[in-house]
Amino acid sequence: MDSEFAPLTLRALRRVLRATEIGSRQLAAATGLTPSQLLVLREIAAREAATPSAIANALQFSQATITTIVDRLQELGFVHRQRSDRDKRQFILTVESAGQMALAGAPDPVQTTFTARFVRLPQWEQAMILAAVERLAMLMDAQHIDAAPLLDSGLIDRSEPA
C-alpha cells in the first residue's frame, strides 16, 4: 500500500497558496496597500498593545523591515505610534479608524468568493475541511510545536533539530 497522499496534498496545497497569494496582491492593488503592509496592519489589529518586535516576531520579519512598513502605515494615517509608559524603549502600535476602515472595507476577493462557496457545502463537509485545515496548521507550524507538542501519540520524531 504505502499510499502516497503526502505529495498530492502538498501539490494541492500549493495551488491554494498560489491562489491566496495572488488574491492578496490584487487586494493590495485595490486598497493602495502592499501585501506586506496589509499583513502588518492585520497583525497589529489582531492584538492588544502591539509592539514592533512582537509583530516582527509573529511575522518573522526583521525589526528593520517592520520599521519601514509601520512608517508608511503611519504616513497613511492607518496606524499610531506611541511610546510605552512601562518601557520607554518600546512603541505601542494602534490602528487608527482609517486603518479599521481600510481593513473592513477591503475584503479579500479570494476570501469573499471562498466564503460564498464554502457556506454552500453541506455541513459535514464544512466540518471536515475545517478539521483538516486545523490539522494541517498543526503539522506545519514549527514554532508552536516546539513550545508544546500538540500532536497525538508517537507523531513527533524530531529528527535532527538542525
Q: Which residues bind a second copy (CB under 8 A)?
A: 1, 3, 5-10, 12-13, 15-20, 22-23, 25, 59-60, 109-111, 113-121, 123, 125-137, 139-143, 151, 154-157, 159, 162
Half-sphere exposure (CA, 13 Å, Cβ side) for 48? 0
For the chain, the C-alpha Rg in angstroms (whole number) is: 19
Task: Say if residue 106 is exposed, middle or buried (CB neighbours under 10 Å; 0-12, 13-18, 19+).
Answer: middle
- Which of DNA, a second copy, none is residue 66 near (CB under 5 to 8 Å by kind)? DNA
Beta strands in the chain (DSSP E): 79-83, 91-95
Residue 92's H or E segment, with its range, is: strand 91-95
3-class DSSP assignment, residue 77: coil
Task: Confirm if 44 and 50 have CB atoms less than 8 A apart.
Answer: yes
Least distance in Å: CB of 32 to DNA?
9
Least distance in Å: CB of 11 to DNA?
21
- Which of a second copy, DNA, none is residue 9 near (CB under 5 to 8 Å by kind)? a second copy
User: Is the CB of 15 or the CB of 89 nearer to DNA?
Assistant: 89
Least distance in Å: CB of 39 to DNA?
7
User: Is the CB of 47 or the CB of 135 nearer to a second copy?
Assistant: 135
Question: Within 10 A of 54 (CB to CB), how many other CB atoms are there?
Answer: 16
User: Is the CB of 90 or the CB of 145 nearer to a second copy?
Assistant: 145
Among the listed ranges 49-57, 107-115, 132-140, 146-154, the one in contact with DNA (CB under 7 A) is 49-57
| Nine cell digits for residue 14 | 500549493
**Which residues are near DNA by CB under 7 A?**
25, 34, 36-37, 51-54, 60-72, 81, 86-91
